[in-house]
Amino acid sequence: MATTEEIRTDLAEIVNEVTGIPAADVQLEKSFSDDLDVDSLSMVEVVVAAEEKFDVRIPDDEVKNLRTVGDAVTYIEKAQAA
C-alpha cells in the first residue's frame, strides 16, 4: 500500500508534467487553483493521468471537491482502499 508521501510525490510529478509547476511546490496544503494556478482544463489532464497512475476512478463530480493537493491524495488513498 502506497504511503501518503508516496502518493503526493507521484501526484506532484504528474502536476509537473502537465503544467510545468516544480514538483517541490506541490505540497498537501496547496490549493490547485489559488496557490498552484492549475486551471480547470489542466486539472482534467492531471485527473486523467492520476486515474491511470493510481488505478482509480475520479468522476467529474468528485473533481470539483478536490480543492487542495491533500484532498486529492486523501481521495486516491480511499479509492485505492475501497
Partner 1 sequence: MTATWTMPAGSPHAAVLGLGIHRAKRVVPNAEIIDAIDSSDEWIQQRSGIKERRWVGPGETLESMSFAAAERALEASGIAAAQIDAVILASCSNTQQITALAPRIAHLLGTQSPAAFDISIACAGFCHGLSLATDMIRGGTSKHVLVIGAELFSPLVSEHDRGTAFIFGDGAGAVVVGPSDVPGIGPVVWGSDGEQHNAIELSEDWVAAMTDDEPVLPHITMDGPAVFRWAAFEMAKVAQETLDRTGITVDDLDLFVPHQANMRITDAMARAMKLPDRVRIARDIAEQGNTSAASIPLALGRMYEDGEAKSGDLALLIAFGAGLAYAAQVIRIP
Among residue numbers 1 through 60, which ones bind partner 1 (CB under 8 A)?
A: 39-41, 43-45, 47-48, 60
Q: How far is the CB of 40 from partner 1 (least distance, A)?
A: 5
DSSP secondary structure string for all residues of 29-56: T-BTTTTS---HHHHHHHHHHHHHHHT-
Residue 29 or residue 60: which is nearer to partner 1 going by CB? Answer: 60
The CA–CA distances, whole Å, from 39 to 33, 42, 45, 46, 65 equal 6, 5, 10, 10, 14
Residue 41 or residue 82: which is nearer to partner 1 going by CB? Answer: 41
Q: How far is the CB of 64 from partner 1 (least distance, A)?
A: 9
**Which residue ranges make up the site for partner 1 (CB under 8 A)?**
39-41, 43-45, 47-48, 60, 63
